[in-house]
Amino acid sequence: MSEMQIQSVLQQMRALSQAGRIEGSAPVAAVKEPQAAGSDFASKLHEAIRDVNEIQQEATGMQTKFELGDNNVSLPQVMVAMNKSSIAFEATNQVRNRLLSAYQEVMSMSV
């Protein structure tokens, strides 16, 4: 991976990080993508978790290849993949925490 590609990925990660810090703003994907007929929250959540798992598996695979001495995998590629994996997992964890908080708030409401 060239230095230009690494800088591009880092710039995208910073932009996503800044977008995630703004409280009350809608996610970029939710604004750009209209809801398709028949797509529900559970399927979207399942798809997102599956995507995070794929990112983690790719990062682990690249790490293993690098450790075994594969010349096609460089250290910067492994580090970027591991950071992507870490950020994806942390974002998923934050969504889970917010869902749990919302669920607890709804359950504590008096009817």
The pLDDT profile of the chain, 111 residues, written as one tens digit per residue, is: 556 666 676 677 677 666 655 444 444 444 445 555 556 888 888 999 999 999 999 999 999 999 999 999 999 999 999 999 999 999 999 999 999 999 999 999 887
- pTM of full prediction above 0.85: no
Nearest to 72 by CA among 4, 9, 2, 1: 1
- Residues 17, 19, 25, 30: is their CA dihedral positive or negative? negative
For the chain, the structural domain boundaries read 1-6+40-111
Helix 41-67 to helix 75-108 angle (10° resolution) is 150
